[in-house]
Amino acid sequence: MTSMYIFFVCLSFILLLPVRIDSHLCLIEPRQRGDMDISQGGSGICFRHGSPCGGQNASSGPYPKLVAGKQVVITWQQNFNHYTVGYPGYMDIAIAEYGTDTWQLLAFTPDDYVYAQDHQQNYSAIVNIPKKECIHCVIRARYNSHKPGEDTFYQCADVTIEDASILRYESSRPHLPLMSDDKKYKSAVRKLNKLHSLQNNHIPQPIPNVNMSMRGFSYSPMDKTVNFVNVTLDGHVITFGQFNFGLNFKVSTNKKYGFSNPMYIYDKDSTIPAMEPYLLDSIMTVNSFNNMVGILHAGSMDEPSAMYVEFDTHQGTWIYSSLISKYDGYPYNGIVFNENNGFYNTFSLQGNNSHGYEFVVGLLYLVDGTFPCIYKELIRTGPEPLYVNYQWMVMDQKGQRLFVLMGNENTPDKLNARIYRFDLKSNKLDKMVELDVDNYTFMSIHYFEKEGKLYTISPGTWSERSSPKWTLIEVDPVTGKVTPIRQIIDRNYFRAWYGGSVFSGIDQSTGVMYHVLKLKDADANVIVTVDIPNQKVNYSEMVNLSHVYNLALTKYLV
Ligand SMILES: *[C@@H]1O[C@H](CO)[C@@H](O)[C@H](O)[C@H]1NC(C)=O
Ligand SMILES: *[C@@H]1O[C@H](CO)[C@@H](O)[C@H](O)[C@H]1NC(C)=O
Ligand SMILES: *[C@@H]1O[C@H](CO)[C@@H](O)[C@H](O)[C@H]1NC(C)=O
Ligand SMILES: *[C@@H]1O[C@H](CO)[C@@H](O)[C@H](O)[C@H]1NC(C)=O
Ligand SMILES: *[C@@H]1O[C@H](CO)[C@@H](O)[C@H](O)[C@H]1NC(C)=O
Ligand SMILES: *[C@@H]1O[C@H](CO)[C@@H](O)[C@H](O)[C@H]1NC(C)=O
Ligand SMILES: *[C@@H]1O[C@H](CO)[C@@H](O)[C@H](O)[C@H]1NC(C)=O
Ligand SMILES: *[C@@H]1O[C@H](CO)[C@@H](O)[C@H](O)[C@H]1NC(C)=O
C-alpha cells in the first residue's frame, strides 16, 4: 500500500515537471550514429545513455574515412552542462575496433563550470589515429558529470581507417582536416610546420634512435585505470598495458586487470591498506633491465606511504611491488637507479622545525635478490632553511655522484637554485653550488656521461615567461657555472612551462636529450630532441600529453 502510494506520488511529481528533455553530449565530427540535432541546448538527440554507444546500433556503412597514423580533430558538443561543484566530471574520447571492448583513450577533458545548465559548448581535441587499418572502428565520446542522478552520456561514430601508404608524400604530411575551423589549432599547426621546415628533410620519425623509446602512464578519470603507453615522436600515444591502480591521488576502482593488492604479495600478514594504491607522479627511474621503477602510495591519505613498484617496459606489465622494510616514514622526493650496485638511491626532506629541513640520501636494496626491499639511510645533512624545493635528481654513474637540484623557497619568481652533490663512495655531501639564474632558469638537470656535464633546456627568466625563447644550457657540476650552448627555439612557439622533463632524458649513446614542450597556441605538446654534441634540434609532431605522467626514455634490449 505504502509503496504504491510513493510510486504514485513520484509519478505525479515527474508529470508535473515542465516537459523538457535534458540533453547533454553530441558527437559532431566524425558525425555520431543516428540522428543529430544541436540546434538548441536540450536536444533529445544528445541524451543517450548506456555503454558503449548510448543504445545506438551501427549502420551498415560506408563510413567516413580516416588515415592511419594521422592527426584529426574530433569535435563534440556538450549540449547541457552538469558541472558538479566539489566533484567535477569530465568527457573523454576513445577508439576501438567494432565489436571489441578494448578502448584506446584518445583524449579527455575536464568539465567547465559555466553556472548555467542550459549551455552549449563545442570541444575539440587533436588526436592521433592509431597506425592500423580498420574497416569498421568506433569512436566513442562520453560525458560523466558526477552529478547525482545523471548517468554517463554516450555517443559513437563509425569510421574506417585506411592505410597511410595510399597517400602521396605531400598529403601524408600531418594536417588538420578541414573539419576544424579553430583558429588556435590552425595557428599552432602553421607554426609547427614552420619549425619542421627549419629541420633538414623533416619526415615524421617515430624516434631518432631505433633503440630508444618513450614510455609513460596515461590516466583517464573515466576509466579509473592507468595505462602503460608508448609515446612516439610522430605523435602517437599507444596503450599497451593496463593496471588497476590509480595515479597521484586519483584512485582506481577498476578490478578488471587483475592487479592483486600488492600488500599481500610479500607480506600476507600486513593490515589491509586504507585505500587502493596509486602511482606517484613525477618520481620514476629506469634500471639496467630497462624496467621503470616508481613509488606506489598504498596507505591512508594522510600518511606518507611508499612501496617499490617495477614495470616491464617491453611487455607493458607490472612485475614487482614490494613493501619497503625499515621505511622511515618520510616521502621520497626522488629515486634513481644506481648501476654500481643495481639498487636505488632515494632523496627525502625531513623536518627539523626550528632550523629548516635535513636532506637525507637513502638506499633501497634487496638481500640476496629477494623482496621486500630494505631502506637504509646513507647521508644526512642540514638543516637547510631556504633551499627546500626539491626539483630533480640525477646520477653520475661512473663517478658515483648524485646531483640534486633544489630551489629557494623564497624566490618563486627569480628561481634561485642550488645543486647539492653527494659523493656515494664516501657517503658525504661533497659540494653545494649556487647556480647563476640571472639569465636562465630551469627545474631539471640531466647528466651526460661522455661530457661529464649536466644539461637542461631553459625558457630564460621568469620575467620573459610571456614569450620565452628556449636555450640548451650546460651546467658545470664542479663550479655550478651555467653556460648557454645554443638557442633551440625562438620566442612565440612554446610556453614557459617547466614540467617537460623526461626521466633518464638523455640517450647516453648519442647524446640526444628528449624534452616535452607546451605549444603556445593550443593545449598540446611537441617533443623536442636536442643532439647535444652536434647542437642539432628536431621537433616531433603535435601530440597531447596532458594525461601522460612519468614519461621516461627507455632502451630496447635486443
Ligand atoms: C539494435 O540491434 C539489436 C539486435 O540486433 C536490436 O534488438 C535493437 O532493437 C536495435 N536497436 C536499435 C535502437 O535499433
Ligand atoms: C558547434 O559546431 C557546429 C558545427 O561546426 C556549429 O554549427 C555550432 O554553431 C557550434 N556551436 C557552438 C556553441 O559553438
Ligand atoms: C589536451 O588534453 C587536455 C586534457 O587531458 C584537454 O583539456 C585539452 O583540450 C587537450 N587539447 C587538445 C588540443 O586536444
Ligand atoms: C613503441 O613505438 C616504437 C616506435 O614507433 C615501436 O618501434 C615499438 O614497437 C612500440 N612499442 C610498443 C610496445 O608499442
Ligand atoms: C641499436 O642497438 C644495436 C644492438 O645493440 C646496435 O648494434 C646499434 O648500433 C644500435 N643503434 C643505435 C643507433 O644506437
Ligand atoms: C635539528 O637540527 C639541529 C641543528 O643542526 C640539531 O642539533 C638537531 O639534532 C636536529 N634535530 C633533529 C630531530 O634532527
Ligand atoms: C645576462 O645577460 C646580460 C644581457 O645579455 C649580460 O650582460 C650578462 O652578462 C648575462 N649574465 C650572465 C651571468 O651571463
Ligand atoms: C633529426 O631527424 C633526423 C631524421 O629526420 C635524424 O637523422 C636525426 O638523428 C634527428 N636528430 C635529433 C636530434 O633528433
Q: How far is the CA of 235 from the centre of ligand 2 (A)?
A: 27
pLDDT in tens, the chain (558 residues): 333 333 333 333 333 333 333 548 999 989 999 999 999 888 889 999 999 999 999 988 899 888 888 888 899 999 998 887 767 788 999 999 999 988 888 888 888 888 778 889 999 888 888 888 999 999 999 999 877 777 899 999 999 998 866 544 333 333 334 345 567 778 888 898 889 888 866 776 777 787 899 999 998 777 777 889 999 998 889 888 888 777 766 554 444 333 444 443 333 334 444 356 788 888 999 999 999 999 988 766 667 778 899 999 999 988 888 889 999 989 899 999 999 999 999 999 998 777 889 999 999 999 988 888 999 999 999 899 999 889 999 999 999 999 999 999 888 888 999 999 999 999 999 999 999 999 999 999 999 999 999 999 999 998 898 999 999 999 998 898 999 999 999 999 999 999 999 999 999 999 999 999 999 988 889 999 999 999 999 999 889 998 899 999 998 765
Compute, in degrees rounded to 10, the torsion defined by CA atoms 542, 548, 552, 556.
Answer: -80
From the CB of 238, is ligand 4 less than 6 Å away?
yes
Query: Which pLDDT score, from 0 to 100, does residue 276 have?
Result: 65
CA angle 271, 276, 279 (to 5 degrees): 115
Atom 8, ligand 8: which residue's CA is nearest? Answer: 208
Query: Which pLDDT score, from 0 to 100, does residue 16 have?
Result: 32
β-pairing, 104-110 with 90-97? antiparallel
Tell me the three-class secondary structure of 492-530, residue by residue. CCECCCCCCEEEEEEECCCCEEEEEEEECCCCCEEEEEE
Query: Which pLDDT score, from 0 to 100, does residue 257 have?
Result: 35
Atom 7, ligand 3: which residue's CA is nearest? Answer: 109
From the CB of 436, is ligand 7 less than 6 Å away?
yes
Q: How far is the CA of 87 from the centre of ligand 2 (A)?
A: 27
Query: Which pLDDT score, from 0 to 100, does residue 269 have?
Result: 39
From the CB of 286, is ligand 3 less than 6 Å away?
no
Largest CA distance in the chain: 86
Atom 5, ligand 5: which residue's CA is nearest? Answer: 558
Q: How far is the CA of 513 from the centre of ligand 4 (A)?
A: 19
Listed in sequence order, the residues at least 6 apart from 158 whose beta carbon sits closer than 8 Å to its beta carbon are 33, 58, 59, 61, 63, 64, 98, 136, 137, 138
**Nearest atom in ligand 5 to 510's CA:** 14
Atom 1, ligand 6: which residue's CA is nearest? Answer: 352
Query: Which pLDDT score, from 0 to 100, does residue 265 have?
Result: 36
- Average pLDDT value over all residues in the chain: 84
From the CB of 36, is ligand 2 less than 6 Å away?
no
From the CB of 120, is ligand 2 less than 6 Å away?
yes
From the CB of 439, is ligand 7 less than 6 Å away?
yes
From the CB of 204, is ligand 4 less than 6 Å away?
no
Query: Which pLDDT score, from 0 to 100, does residue 274 have?
Result: 38
Atom 1, ligand 2: which residue's CA is nearest? Answer: 122
Query: Which pLDDT score, from 0 to 100, does residue 259 have?
Result: 42
Interval 277-314: pLDDT, tens? 788 888 999 999 999 999 988 766 667 778 899 999 99
Q: How far is the CA of 441 from the centre of ligand 7 (A)?
A: 13
Query: Which pLDDT score, from 0 to 100, does residue 241 have?
Result: 87
Q: How far is the CA of 505 from the centre of ligand 2 (A)?
A: 41
Domains of the chain (ranges, CATH numbers): 24-181 (2.60.40.730), 188-557 (2.120.10.80)
Among all ligands shown, which has an atom nearest to the Cα of 75? 2
Question: For a substitution probing ligand 3, which of 525, 546, 547, 549 has the most ligand atoms within 8 Å of its CB?
Answer: 546
Q: Within 13 Å, how many C-alpha atoms sit on residue 343's CB side? A: 20
Query: Which pLDDT score, from 0 to 100, does residue 300 have?
Result: 62
* Long-range CB contact pairs, 506-511, < 8 A, 24+: 506/446, 506/447, 506/448, 506/455, 506/532, 506/553, 507/209, 507/212, 507/553, 508/448, 508/449, 508/450, 509/209, 509/211, 510/208, 510/209, 511/448, 511/450, 511/451
Query: Which pLDDT score, from 0 to 100, does residue 520 have?
Result: 92
Atom 14, ligand 3: which residue's CA is nearest? Answer: 125
Query: Which pLDDT score, from 0 to 100, does residue 165 have?
Result: 65
pTM of the model: 0.79
